[in-house]
Amino acid sequence: MKKGIVIIPTYNEIDNIEVVAQAVFSLDLNLDILIVDDNSPDKTYEKVRELIKESYGDRLHLIVREKKEGLGKAYIAGFKWVLAQPEGYDFVIEMDADLSHNPKYLPRFVEAIEHYDLVIGSRYVPGGGATDWPLFRKAISYGGSLYSRLLLGVTIKDITGGFKCFRREVLETINLDTIITSGYAFQIEMNYKVALKNFLFIDVPISFEERIRGASKVCKKVFIEALG
């Protein structure tokens, strides 16, 4: 059975980290988790260490970075860690810590990655959407995604989405040191590089859910970067 790993960047997610880890590990899937923590002031990393020691052992891994440098750099650190592991994970999943990316979709990702190089959890295909978003926010989100797709000539429906699964070979082919974005525009850049390499991808429907615990990490700077 092929083995995957879920990379979850964290910054002040102490209220969510145990819940999301339990949700992933409760699934009947051959998955590990890698937490990439940006030295959270709330000491999320200490909670992760506790979970490693008391609950999950070598299925749960942790990187603690010196400071917060953006979502993209956290994922790049995670990708490089994964590619350096001797056990050789077959695929890598990106997922948020706050359960806005529901782990219930992971079996679909694992099934689809058998046939595709990239699986994107999409809000913009039939069956997808965003729970409890006002119309204005939906319009802004879709408009930003459409603008990026048209500008770059990419047919991925949810180019700004961050719930996705890569085959290992994709990450080995892309030169991770050439990634220039550090915030949420990182998702656009990675999808663009996948499209340029002519990898096979599929959009699968997901419903994006608002976080229940903790504060949102989206700020004005991040929003402008994602659109620009």
Distance separating alpha carbons of residues 95 and 102, to the nearest angstrom:
9
| pLDDT at position 208 | 82
Cβ neighbours around 146 below 10 Å, total? 14
Cα separations in angstroms, 67 against 4, 10, 14, 78, 150: 27, 11, 17, 15, 35
Tens of pLDDT, residue by residue, the chain (228 residues):
799 999 999 999 999 999 999 999 999 999 999 999 999 999 999 999 999 999 999 999 999 999 999 999 999 999 999 999 987 899 999 999 999 999 999 999 999 999 999 999 998 887 776 666 566 665 566 556 655 656 666 777 788 889 999 999 999 999 999 999 887 789 999 998 998 899 999 999 998 876 555 555 544 444 444 444
List of domains in the chain: 4-227 (3.90.550.10)
Residue 150, SS3?
helix
The closest alpha carbon to 110, from 205, 3, 224, belongs to 3
Question: pTM of the predicted model, to two decimals?
Answer: 0.87
